[in-house]
Amino acid sequence: MLGVCYYPEHWPEDIWAEDARRMAETGIGVVRIAEFGWARMELAPGVFDWSWLDRAIETLAAAGLKLVLGTPTAAPPRWLVDLHPDILPVDRNGLPRLFGSRRHYTPASPAFIEATRRIVTAMMERYGEHHAIIGWQVDNEFGCDDTIFSWGNLDRAHFQDWLKARYTTIDALNAAWGNDFWSMTVGDFAEVELPTRQVCDTNPSSQIDFMRCRSDLFVDYFRLQAEIIRAHAPGRFVTHNFMGFSHTFDHFEMGRQMDVASWDSYPLGRIESLPLTDAERNRFARTGHPDVSALQHDLYRAVGNGRFWIMEQQPGPVNWATWNAVPERGMVRLWTWEALAHGAEAVVYFRWRQYRKAQEQMHAGLLRPDHILSQGGAEASRVAKEIAYLGPLPATTPAPVALVFDYQAAWVTQFQPQGKDFDYRILKLRWYEAFRRLGIDVDVVEPGTSLSGYSLVLVPTLPIVSEAALQAFQETNALILFGPRTGSKDQNFAIPESLPPGPTLQGIMPLKVTEVESMRPGLSAAVSGTVSGTVTRWRDFLETDLEVLAHFDDGATALTAAGRFHYLAGWPETDLLGSVARYLLAKAGLSVVDLPEHVRMRRRGSLTFAFNYGPESYTLPVAAEQLLIGTPELKPHDVACWRA
């Protein structure tokens, strides 16, 4: 299903009906509205004006469109800030972040919680059972612009309460954090500072606890809204639209509170914000990197417990990246099909018509400001026809390979990179890419999720290994590959006394990491043996009696295994990753297909899709008559689909 985001509040009412008619004509089935409309809904505390929204909903519904409504809490109105200045988030220096954009609140503010209850309850009472509304989006893009954090007095008090709930006694906290170091002992929870503006490094234990605390605060804030919605809107789904590659709260934890996950896919913006190579950035500036959105699709399918939407799909050039390219012709269609191939239930474009004013005026829509269908609009319309031609898409089936993704891994490596380029976003992307280059579908899973059914499980790194994670590793028959730094911390961010990978993993894989090295960009280490290639950025030094599958030039162990448990003692460059991937896939009995840098495949049930991100054609191993979409010669920026 295709959808679009629409802002009736931006447009004169007399064009709403025509907009709705054209949406339906373009093949749009669902429209998201209202998520920034608080100021129009509640004019003063408890004074509501639903008239415009009533008319907007009716107009869209009358055109046969289904609706997803957003609660408007991402944009508190000016009068609320005036009444309760303490809802404003506070920056690291203790200065408030001001009204005039969005996300200007901290959920640690009781006044904001009260205002949230009021607006969400009123909205649900009005629209909860509306026939055309099929789902609800809570708030919008939690964490955008560093808004999980706030460093004010309310936030400190909330952190202190959270710590008290976690540790019960201040002695337990002092012990867990190792506060005997540097005389950091505190006598009472009320004495704990937020981890900011210390003279030098802040205790990493306090940093990860503050991150957990803020993550819990936003999960609770989601739950608060979700409960009000569910109480009034039986049968409608509840979701949130996440931002990809955003790691400041635990998306899995929040995902457990929702019916379907959704995320915002802007492939071109990621070209600059992820630390890709310059060659990649130039090559994929107008297409996006072939694995970046794909990895997020697979992540949010897991976050949504198997169900996900694209709630905002890039429809053309945007405004917020360092540079903002025009997508190659065909890419809006390609991105849409790729999301569907990875199991998306709907792809909702952001947005119907480019608004000529305010912050996002340079962000394209399906319509240009002059009301004419944009290039992206034309491509969306084509996809709609192709979807209609294909009929209902089959259900997604599990991939043969799982990649374990962990938010705490992102936090540990952020608070303690130890080498400044140890970037978890890139680490997981490179591992994923290596298998996708071999034609392999990869599921993303949370640590502790059952791994049964997989042939191979990838753990790029997992510094904190929970009991649940261990159990899942033990209960599968899959080969498992652990990357560097796995098991390097306990729950309190301390090094295990038995050294990494820690007592739980050492039970199944007897080895010790005795030293670690982060390597500046000029350094590398060659690996050879059953696999070969290059390690950069990070090395673990192992002490073990296990079999050495590959070793470094200096003789140290690079890859070892205890039965089906493998440990890779460094950050693998592309060459080594490819070699390791081939080795393990062969061991797991999985066959591979060598894909060039710019081509990817993905199966959805009985369908196989192929995508060409590059300027060169690629010959598919399929006859023309088998193809449901496309041609055997897969053209640049084109899509193909066939039944396997």
How far is residue 290's CA from residue 295's CA, in Å, rounded to a whole number?
9
Q: Per rule CB under 8 A, is residue 195 in the interface with its own copies?
A: yes
- Name which of 539, 597, 545, 544 is nearest 568 in CA terms: 539
**92-100, 238-246, 432-440, 615-623 -> range binding its own copies (CB under 8 A):** 92-100
Q: Per rule CB under 8 A, is residue 199 in the interface with its own copies?
A: yes
Joined tokens for residue 605? 């049930």
Radius of gyration of the chain measured on its C-alpha atoms: 25
Q: Per rule CB under 8 A, is residue 70 in the interface with its own copies?
A: no
Q: Kindly report the number of other CB atoms within 10 A of residue 588's CB atom.
A: 16
Query: Using CB under 8 A, which of 55, 126, 230, 512 touches its own copies?
Result: 512
Query: Using CB under 8 A, which of 22, 32, 104, 564 touches its own copies?
Result: 104
Residue 140 counted as an annotated binding residue: yes
Q: 368-407: which residues touch its own copies (CB under 8 A)?
A: 368-370, 374-375
Q: What is the 3-state secondary structure (H, E, C) of 475-518?
A: HCCCEEEECCCCCCECCCCCCCCCCCCHHHHHHHCCEEEEEEEE
CB contact set of 281 (below 8 Å; sequence gap of 6+)? 271, 272
Query: Using CB under 8 A, which of 131, 234, 322, 625 touches its own copies?
Result: 322
Contact 288, 336 (CB under 8 A): no
Query: Using CB under 8 A, which of 70, 77, 448, 463 touches its own copies?
Result: 77
CB contact set of 371 (below 8 Å; sequence gap of 6+)? 353
Q: Which is nearer to its own copies, 424 or 493 (CB)?
A: 493
Helix axes 204-232, 407-415, angle to 10 degrees: 150
Residue 539 counted as an annotated binding residue: no
Give the residue numbers annotated as catalytic, written as ranges: 141, 312
Query: Using CB under 8 A, which of 111, 186, 426, 592 touches its own copies?
Result: 186
**15-23, 179-187, 240-248, 576-584 -> range binding its own copies (CB under 8 A):** 179-187
Query: Using CB under 8 A, which of 58, 517, 575, 597 touches its own copies?
Result: 517
In whole angstroms, how close is the CB of 39 to its own copies at the nearest point?
A: 4
Q: Per rule CB under 8 A, is residue 357 in the interface with its own copies?
A: yes
How far is residue 592's CA from residue 61's CA, in Å, rounded to a whole number?
48
Q: How far apart are the first and last CA of the chain?
A: 23
**243-251, 254-262, 302-310, 359-367 -> range binding its own copies (CB under 8 A):** 359-367
Q: Per rule CB under 8 A, is residue 191 in the interface with its own copies?
A: yes
Joined tokens for residue 345? 């239930």
Joined tokens for residue 510? 């007897």
Query: Using CB under 8 A, which of 96, 306, 529, 632 touches its own copies?
Result: 96
Residue with tokens 């290039």: 375
Q: Per rule CB under 8 A, is residue 100 in the interface with its own copies?
A: yes
Q: 528-587: which residues touch its own copies (CB under 8 A)?
A: 539, 541
Query: Using CB under 8 A, which of 61, 122, 326, 526 touches its own copies?
Result: 326
| Amino acid present at 322 | T
How far is residue 411's CA from residue 31's CA, in Å, rounded to a whole number?
35
Question: Reduced to 3 states, what is the DSSP secondary structure of residue 347?
Answer: strand
Q: Per rule CB under 8 A, is residue 102 in the interface with its own copies?
A: yes
In whole angstroms, how close is the CB of 87 to its own copies at the nearest point?
A: 12
CA atoms within 13 A on the CB side of 492: 14
Q: Kindly report the number of other CB atoms within 10 A of residue 64's CB atom.
A: 13
In whole angstroms, how close is the CB of 316 to its own copies at the nearest point?
A: 7
Q: Which is nearer to its own copies, 395 or 523 (CB)?
A: 523
Q: Per rule CB under 8 A, is residue 315 in the interface with its own copies?
A: no
Joined tokens for residue 77? 């109105």
How far is residue 299's CA from residue 404's CA, in Å, rounded to a whole number?
10
Q: Which is nearer to its own copies, 73 or 579 (CB)?
A: 73
Question: Reduced to 3 states, what is the DSSP secondary structure of residue 123?
Answer: helix
Q: Which is nearer to its own copies, 231 or 523 (CB)?
A: 523
Q: Which is nearer to its own copies, 372 or 644 (CB)?
A: 372
Query: Using CB under 8 A, which of 22, 40, 212, 566 touches its own copies?
Result: 40
Q: 115-134: which residues touch its own copies (CB under 8 A)?
A: none
Q: Per rule CB under 8 A, is residue 498 in the interface with its own copies?
A: yes
Binding site residue list for substrate? 102, 140, 320
